[in-house]
Chain A
């Protein structure tokens, strides 16, 4: 009985690991195959490491990659900063209607993009930002507000209210409290929220799809999707392009795992 359980454990772990890793094996293996080697399919390991697909993919997606950088960094910084302010208010103040406002904020987080897509495209066009990175930044900041506010409010709960009250009596100015008390105490919170936002914005596809126009404003996700559906011979290029686009977020997952996990848990453990 005991051995049977053990066997079941190993088989289940093995199958789960294969299920999780096989797509990643496929993408890496295919991306380093040259045209001749591709004939042998995605499963048989590459005979040698061929980087031509990466060069070709980079040639096609380098501009969108930079677009994504110039979109994601400002949008992350702005939405994190604004969230740290509104989160502070929700943490500190209970006022008439604050519960209702907070509820509307959470509910806003859940409203699917299809419900706002048509007015969004019209609005962004009307203010002259259609097909620009600025339009995408504004959009990402706006739809990032609920989650950054929520994450900061939850983060601040770990700061004792007395610290804040004492600081208010000492210095009076809330801006200086923000700078000298809140900011230093919440640096880990800023790291967690920025990584969370960076991931969301970098990985977004739908807003990029409807608000960008051509290579000058297209984010890398949209450019990778366009690499798709060319010829079979070029599927190493697709895979290489997808991997290049995955790198920035992957780096966070591999080298800042703890901060990533804190962000993911913060959203789930307490809503």
Chain B
């Protein structure tokens, strides 16, 4: 086998050179940069150990960004999964038009974050925005909200857009899962006198474990890199109320040229991602299918 397989090994070379350099070497470099004194354009300065990390821990903005990241990422995963499952059940109940509605729910996924953000900035605009205008037209003025202009609501607004963008993906996976359940099982449940609600709660949902793992696996990818919608919708504001680690890292690195401090934030984001993904991949490997 040995010699014959050499071309197969050659096939791996581009992937491993590129992933090796662009992912692993660069991550290592970020870790190295984070130990330096490097606060302006130009070459990195001397080694200062963990000082950038002390600065991070003692900086209230950094802590706020960390907390916001954890809140946004975890609520994004939980709520997107739940909304996606509910929509899949709606599709399953009214299966006549399921194809049309599935496409409608999936459309937001086709938009880049820039386009979703453009839409939603004007959905949320307090005076001219769609939501408040609609509420006023319906004489529901008391329901109007300041949305992204409020420190209380900015993070919630970002969360809503993330859910809007990705729940159709969860719906797609769950709907395929529900449709894949053998018809006999559902019929025997109905013969036993189960209501529609009981059918879903007791027969269908327990069988969707594989789908849930699949959905969460993909959502984690996006949850660990929340940046774009925050940057584009609120820029982390107002008054840093929606700042997450990634927007904070971008700001200190590319606007303030604090490269080493930015690298330490980048490395903390890396450690968080590894801390979540290594156990997750370990626990779920080999269990992708029911």
- A residues with a Cβ closer than 8 A to B are 5, 9, 12-13, 16-17, 19-24, 26-27, 30, 41-44, 82-83, 85-86, 88-90, 92-93, 95, 101, 103-120, 123, 139, 141-143, 145-146, 149, 168, 172-175, 199, 202-206, 210, 221-222, 224-225, 228, 232, 235, 238-239, 242-243, 245-246, 249-250, 252-254, 257, 260-261, 264-265, 267-271
Docked complex Cα distance between A143 and B15 (Å): 10
Pick 22 A–B contacts, CB within 8 A, sort by A: A17-B104, A20-B107, A27-B122, A42-B122, A107-B278, A111-B27, A112-B246, A114-B245, A114-B246, A117-B253, A118-B253, A119-B26, A119-B30, A142-B18, A142-B21, A149-B15, A210-B254, A224-B115, A267-B218, A268-B211, A268-B218, A269-B173
A271 and B217 within 8 A (CB): yes
B94 and A253 within 8 A (CB): no
B90 and A9 within 8 A (CB): yes
15 further contact pairs, Cβ within 8 A, besides A9-B93, A42-B130, A269-B288: A86-B12, A90-B12, A103-B281, A110-B273, A111-B270, A112-B269, A116-B22, A116-B27, A142-B23, A174-B8, A221-B113, A221-B115, A246-B115, A267-B218, A269-B210
Looking at the assembled complex, report how far the CB atom of A243 sits from the nearest CB atom of chain B, in whole angstroms: 8
Docked complex Cα distance between A265 and B228 (Å): 24
B26 and A120 within 8 A (CB): yes
Docked complex Cα distance between A252 and B43 (Å): 45
Known: A13-B94, A118-B30, A232-B128. A246 touches B11 (CB 8 A): no
Looking at the assembled complex, report how far the CB atom of B76 sits from the nearest CB atom of chain A, in whole angstroms: 14
Which residues of chain A come closer than 8 Å to B277, judged between CB atoms?
Answer: 107, 110
Does B188 sit at the interface, judged by CB under 8 A?
A: no
Does B129 sit at the interface, judged by CB under 8 A?
A: yes
Docked complex Cα distance between A101 and B19 (Å): 11
Looking at the assembled complex, report how far the CB atom of B180 sits from the nearest CB atom of chain A, in whole angstroms: 10
Which residue of chain B has the shortest Cβ distance to A5 in the bound complex?
B196
Does B47 sit at the interface, judged by CB under 8 A?
A: no
Determine which of B107, B114, B228, B232 lies in contact with A245 in the assembled complex, contact meaning CB atoms within 8 Å.
B114
Which residues of chain A come closer than 8 Å to B128, judged between CB atoms?
Answer: 41-42, 232
Which residues of chain B come closer than 8 Å to A228, judged between CB atoms?
Answer: 117-118, 121, 232
Which residues of chain B come closer than 8 Å to A139, judged between CB atoms?
Answer: 22
Count the A-B residue pairs with Cβ separation under 8 angstroms: how many? Answer: 280
A26 and B119 within 8 A (CB): yes
Known: A30-B122, A206-B227. A111 touches B273 (CB 8 A): yes
Which residues of chain B come closer than 8 Å to A44, judged between CB atoms?
Answer: 137
Which residues of chain B come closer than 8 Å to A252, judged between CB atoms?
Answer: 110
Docked complex Cα distance between A203 and B108 (Å): 12
Encoded as 1 (CB less than 8 Å from any A CB) or 0, chain B from 82 to 113 comes to: 00001100100110000001011111111111
B27 and A270 within 8 A (CB): no
Which residue of chain B has the shortest Cβ distance to A83 in the bound complex?
B15
Known: A110-B221, A115-B30, A119-B29. A27 touches B15 (CB 8 A): no
B134 and A43 within 8 A (CB): yes
Which residues of chain A come closer than 8 Å to B270, judged between CB atoms?
Answer: 111-112, 114-115
Docked complex Cα distance between A270 and B289 (Å): 7
Which residue of chain A has the shortest Cβ distance to B105 in the bound complex?
A20
Determine which of B93, B110, B133, B218 lies in contact with A250 in the assembled complex, contact meaning CB atoms within 8 Å.
B110
Which residues of chain B come closer than 8 Å to A85, judged between CB atoms?
Answer: 11-12, 14-15
Does B176 sit at the interface, judged by CB under 8 A?
A: yes
